[in-house]
Amino acid sequence: MDKSVQFNEYRNKFNEFYYNSFSLTEDSEAIYLEYNFEIPGLSNFTPKLRIMKKNMSFKSINTAEAKNMAFNIGMIELISYWKCACPPKIIVKCGYVDEEQIKFWKKIYFHGLGELFFTNNIKTTMEEFVTIENALDKNEFEYEEISDESNGYIVPIGGGKDSCVTLETLKINKESDYSLIINPKPVTLKCAELAGLDSNHIIEIYRTIDKRLIDLNAEGFINGHTPFSAMLAFVSYFTAYLLSKKYIALSNENSANESNVVGEKINHQYSKSFEFEADFGKYASKYLKAPVKYFSFLRPLNELQIAKIFSKHEKYHPVFKSCNVGSKGAEWKWCCDCAKCLFAYTILSPFLYKEKLVNIFGEDLFEKESLLKTFIELTGNGEVKPFDCVGTFEEVNFAATKTIMNLEEQSKDLPLLLKYYKDNFGLADTTEDITKRYNDENNLTDEQNDMLRKEVF
């Protein structure tokens, strides 16, 4: 069935979504968050989060402030379940959101689901796609601004080159600061270990998707990309509050701001963008109230700059992974057939091609004819930029051109994709070295800026 037709049919049949309840409990091993969502006539959902305690000193969760943060985590978690039928009304039954909060949440939902709407040919607007209503008359959480002293860092790790660069460049204290991993895998744990963090300084959080949602996806209900990084923002903020940490240092670059569709605001990486970072900072200050600062340490840089820095940290090269397809199995591998693999290969190529890159990926992706269409899209010569966490057209063209120039200076033959690129599109202008840029639109302190600038200049 056409998804746009399905969208309207589901909205007529399932016209309400309930955020019924949440629970926040703990035992000696972990802190547990559980949510109850409902689409009447379709299903109940009970997603869960488990924050492992290990030997960490967590604050009490039995406070209005902690419960308020747990409630807000539910507000972002619910979007994964709402999307299967897209009911036109969300009714909040276990908390309260004022008009300003409703605007904030509608913006996250709409732009965070922009890719889903686009790929399913769903035509809607921010005004009409959903309303958010309260079942309660007022906020049941009587919380105040939290004045506890906080210091130090939490660095979320995803297993890719970006978080490895943050771990190496940001001067964290390995004895008191933490990394944070949602649903750890050997790759992410190894990256933290290589950075010098022991197990008691790796926050492990396990997120469980309700199986009923997976079943509905298999049955053909609406499915697609959701803003995972927005969920990470709220969960990491809650964890930083409980551990009295001041900074959550993300590894999102300024390239994440670019739309996937020219002329439209449809961004696979919306919840990694500076716009989301700024919106979240304002929201957290007013409605979460902890002395926690959420920011991206790598925001001043582009993907090519990060790749250049990462190319020097060879201890991570056999370990890091950025492939979503290859992450599905027990052992995270490069699938070598997706846009994310090809982008990572391309952006690293000016610094590591050929032998070192082939050792990392297992084959020369520039020789794969099956990736030609993807390569054309990555360079901006296709209809849309691939819907994945990939860099800008400018960065890809610059990287491809520099690698071609490097090979020609050595009188080496060009691999298939680079030969096609040169023959059909020519070479990009490399007069300006884009690895020497620095974007001042960021939320870094002077000290943090100094740390990062030393890697660039």
For CA atoms 201, 164, 189, 226, give the dihedral sign.
positive
- Over the stretch 156-192, which tens digit does the pLDDT of each residue have? 999 999 999 999 999 899 999 999 999 999 999 999 9
| Domain-wise residue ranges, the chain | 3-296, 326-436
Three-state DSSP state, 202: strand
Residue 16 Cα to chain centre, angstroms? 28
On the question of pLDDT at 305 being above 70, the answer is: yes
Short-list 389, 421, 386, CA closest to 403: 421
Beta-sheet pairing, 17-26 with 89-92: parallel
- What pTM value is reported for the model? 0.94
Instruction: Give the rounded percent of residues in the chain with a pLDDT score beyond 90.
Output: 82
* Confidence check: pLDDT of 259 > 70: no
Tell me how far apart the alpha carbons of residues 99 and 306 are, in angstroms, rounded to a whole number: 39
Give the span between the Cα atoms of 77 and 264, in whole angstroms: 26
Average pLDDT, the chain: 93
Q: Which two tokens stand for residue 351?
A: 């610094």
Per-residue model confidence as pLDDT tens digits over 312-327: 999 999 999 989 887 7
Q: Is the pLDDT of residue 61 over 80?
A: yes
Q: Is the dihedral of CA 307, 312, 313, 319 positive or negative?
A: positive
Residue among 105, 125, 141, 116 nearest 24 (CA): 141
Alpha helices of 78-226 — where are they, by DSSP H? Answer: 79-82, 99-112, 114-119, 161-169, 186-194, 211-218
In angstroms, the CA 387 to CA 5 distance is 23
Q: Give the span between the Cα atoms of 307 and 455, in whole angstroms.
A: 12
pLDDT digits (tens, 9 = 90+) for 269-288: 888 999 999 999 999 999 99
- 96, two tokens: 């309260």
* More confident: 99 or 386: 99
The structure tokens listed for 32 are 């547990």
- Greater confidence (118 vs 422) lies with 422
Rounded CA-CA distance 442/300 in Å is 6
Q: How many CA atoms lie within 13 A of 179 on its CB side?
A: 29
Query: What whole-number distance in Å separates Cα of residue 284 and Cα of residue 412?
Result: 54
78 falls in which pLDDT band (50, 70, 90)? very high
Confidence of residue 1 (pLDDT cuts 50, 70, 90): low
The whole-number pLDDT of residue 257 equals: 67
Spatial CB neighbours of 147, under 8 Å, sequence gap ≥ 6: 291
Would you give the distance in Å from CA 325 to the centre of its chain?
16
363: pLDDT strictly greater than 90: yes
Handedness of CA 319, 321, 326, 330 (dihedral sign): positive
